Structures are given as C-alpha cells and as structure tokens.
Amino acid sequence: MDIRILHLVGTRPNVIKLAPVFSALAFYPRFRQLIAHTGQHFHRNLADGLFEELGLPQPNYRLRAGRKSDLGQISFMLTGVEKILLRLVPHLVIVYGDVNSTLAGALAASKLRIPVAHVEAGLRCFDRTLPEENNRVLVDHLSDLLFAPSTDAAKNLRREGIEKKRIYLAGNVMIDTLIERLPRAETLWKKRWRRRFGGKPFALVTLHRQENVDDSLKLERILKSLNRLGEKISLVFPVHPRTHRNMRGLSSCTKKLVMTPPLPYTDFLALLKHARLVITDSGGVQEESSFLGLPCFTLRSCTERPVTVERGTNTLAGKDPKLLEREIERSLAGHRKRPRLPACWDGRAGERIAATIAEWLKGASHPSRKL
C-alpha cells in the first residue's frame, strides 16, 4: 500500500526548499509524492519554470490564489486545499517556510486530522506586526513534525512549550539546493552573465517584503538610497512583481539601477556568487549569501535568521537609508565579516528530513487511517 505524501507550496522559496526533500523521499519506494501549488507566486520564473529548472515534476494540483489580500489569499487557499485533502486523504502534508500558503496548508490539514510536517520550523524575529511571524508561530504549533534549520530555531520551539520529541535539527534545505545548483550556476555565469556584468564590481539587490514595498513613501526612500549607491557601484536589481507594481511613478528614483525581470533561480545564484555584495530583505538570500561568504545588507531592523548575523555575513541595515549607505561604504572599503557555518548546513538536510519522516510514519498511529 502506497503512503501518500502531499507537499504544499506556493512561492519560489517554498519550491527551492521542496527540491531536496522531494529528491530524498524518492528513495523510499512506498512513498507516493504529490505536489499542490497554491499560485501565491505566479510569474514563470517564480512558479512553473522553477519546477522544471530544479528537476521537479509539475504540480498535481493547482490553485490560483494570485493577487489577493492576505486574508483573501488564506481564505481562498483554505477552501481549495480542503478539497484536495478530502480527495487525496494523504498520510502526511509537508509545508515549507512562513508564507500564507504554509499557514493555509497546515490549518486545513490540522482541521482534517491529517499530520503536518513543517520544514524550516522555529524561526523567530519576535516582531508580531509582521505577517510572516504570525504564520511561523501558528504553523509550528499546528505541526506534528518540526524540522529546524538551526540550533537557535530548535531552542525557540522548546521555549514555546513544544514537545522535544516533535523537534528535529535537520539543517537548511535552502543550502542543499544551493550546493546542488552551484556547478550549473558557474556555467551560466561564464556563458551568459560574465560578459555583461563581469567587467567591473557589481552589487545585487532584491526587495519584496510588504513592510518595505507596500508603503509608497518608504519604498521611495529606499529607491533613492539605492540610486545614490548606484553612483559608487553598479546595482543589479531583479524586480519582484509586487515591487514592480508599487514602483509606478518612481522611475526618477531608479535611473542608476540595472533592473531586470525576476530571474530563474540558477541565473540569480550565478550573479549572487560573483557579486561584490548583496542588498536584500529576503530571508533566503541572507542564508545563501552567508554560505557563500558574500557581504549581505538586510533592509530590516530584525531578522528571523539571527544566525546569519551571529555566524554569517549578514548586517541588519534597519530602515534608515543613511545607515545602509554607511555600512556599504565600510564594506567597499574592505571591512568584511568572516562566516562560520551553522551546524548541518552541509547539503544533507533533505536526507535527514526524509529519514525522519520514514521512521515516523513507520511508527505513527492515526485515528483516521492505518499505514
């Protein structure tokens, strides 16, 4: 009898985290893996094209959450995910990260008494005004298996009263995918990007979080600061669809920025590997840059990945554009952090997660089914 495992994803980072787990679980012949995509990200390079790029099958189920408010997305996804779960009746639902899709998947499965595994559990920035922080806390307390990417994340879960037997230090699946894609990224750099950006130092920019791009005045201040920095170093800026919508009317603030559409993951990785520094508000980029030893300046005053500040190359630049400019000037002058990689950031997190799931399902007893 097949054991049905449903992976629920909705955004680009979710799919990047899915890839090593799906690959590792494929070695267990009794597991029948299926993928549901909520459509929270819908640009080709953020959604469908990424499955092909990472060697994943296309999703078995698709929803179209798209451009809705947070509550609108979650409501739509809850209804859609419920229908999928009632039709499939999986033995386990695996959710990834901290986005609305993650919360909708965990909540729907929990209500139907279907076990939930959370990959990237325990991350906390301790700022409940951020929607992702609320998602993290809720998903962790709904989950049966919690896979922490770092020791501080595991400690956060224990501090909140979650049973130790449900918590596993798995390591960072983002790093698994990065390590697997690096050789291809280097090939792409030589074939596609070196001629365009390799002649002089450049910095890479990503910007997409609600607190930075949905407030027009804040976004304008950030873009003006980046524009000033663009006079000192070339800034390559793949623009997220959400940011692009909110940049209308701000073209005068972007004259010094080299803007592109969202890039395929491996192309982005090629640029990240060869950039002089990165400016971001992305959690994943904080981790990837720390692994690569690349100076990272995060446009936030807190991070759910403090290990990237304590052991990696990340610097919190806060919400003050002048602070960002000062920190980058220090970096360009040669002041750099030396990274010390956290435990289990070794490219084998997916394997550890798969082994734990296999062992857990073997001994699991659920009222609604027998395995």
Q: How far apart are CA 136 and CA 284, in angstroms?
A: 15
164 and 216 inside one domain: no
Q: Could you tell me which of 313, 280, 327 has the C-alpha nearest to residue 299?
A: 280
Q: Could you tell me which of 101, 82, 87 has the C-alpha nearest to residue 40?
A: 101
30 and 81 inside one domain: yes
Residue 326 lies in a domain: yes
183 and 201 inside one domain: yes
Q: Could you tell me which of 67, 68, 45, 47 has the C-alpha nearest to residue 59?
A: 47
203 and 137 inside one domain: no
Task: For the beta carbon of residue 55, count every other beta carbon within 10 angstroms.
Answer: 10
Cβ contact 87:114 at 8 Å: no
Q: Please give the structure tokens belonging to residue 213.
A: 């791009």
Residue 370 lies in a domain: no
Q: pTM for this one? A: 0.94
Cα–Cα separations (whole angstroms), residue 164 to 156, 277, 312, 355: 11, 38, 27, 18
**How far out from the chain centre does Cα 114 lie?**
24
Instruction: Return the H-helix or E-strand segment holding 146.
Output: strand 145-148
Residue 322: what pLDDT?
79
Residue 352 lies in a domain: yes
Instruction: Return the H-helix or E-strand segment holding 35.
Output: strand 31-37
Domain hosting residue 214, numbered range: 179-332
Residue 340 lies in a domain: no
217: left (phi over 0), alpha (psi -120 to 50) or beta: alpha
Residue 369 lies in a domain: no
Residue 293: what pLDDT?
95
- pLDDT tens sequence for the chain (371 residues): 789 999 999 999 999 999 999 999 999 999 999 999 999 866 555 567 899 999 999 999 999 887 778 898 999 999 999 999 999 999 999 999 999 999 999 999 999 999 999 999 999 999 999 999 999 999 999 999 999 999 999 999 999 999 999 999 999 999 999 999 999 999 999 999 999 988 889 999 999 998 889 888 889 999 999 999 999 899 999 999 889 989 888 888 889 999 999 999 999 999 999 999 999 999 999 999 999 999 999 999 999 999 999 999 999 998 777 788 888 888 888 888 889 989 899 999 999 999 999 999 987 654 333 32
Q: How far apart are CA 350 and CA 6, in angstroms?
A: 16
184 and 165 inside one domain: no
Residue 252: what pLDDT?
85
195 and 141 inside one domain: no
Which residues, including other chains, have CB under 8 Å from residue 102's CB and lie 6 or more apart? Answer: 8, 10, 14, 95, 96, 118, 135, 139
CATH number for the domain harbouring residue 196: 3.40.50.2000
14 and 136 inside one domain: yes
159 and 203 inside one domain: no
Give the active site residues: 208
Measured between alpha carbons, how far apart are the two ends of the chain, in Å?
8
Residue 368: what pLDDT?
37
Phi, psi of 280 (to 5 degrees): -155, 165
Residue 371 lies in a domain: no
Domain count, the chain: 2
Bridge partner list, 116: 93
Residue 11: what pLDDT?
93
78 and 211 inside one domain: no
Residue 123: what pLDDT?
98
Q: How far apart are CA 288 and CA 286, in angstroms?
A: 6
Residue 337 lies in a domain: no
190 and 309 inside one domain: yes
**How long, in residues, is the chain?**
371
Residue 353: what pLDDT?
98
164 and 193 inside one domain: no
Place of tokens 């499939």: 88
Q: Where are the beta strands (DSSP E) in 225-353?
A: 234-238, 257-260, 277-280, 296-298, 314-316
Q: How far apart are CA 263 and CA 136, in angstroms?
A: 27
Write the DSSP symbol of residue 190. I
161 and 207 inside one domain: no
Residue 187 lies in a domain: yes
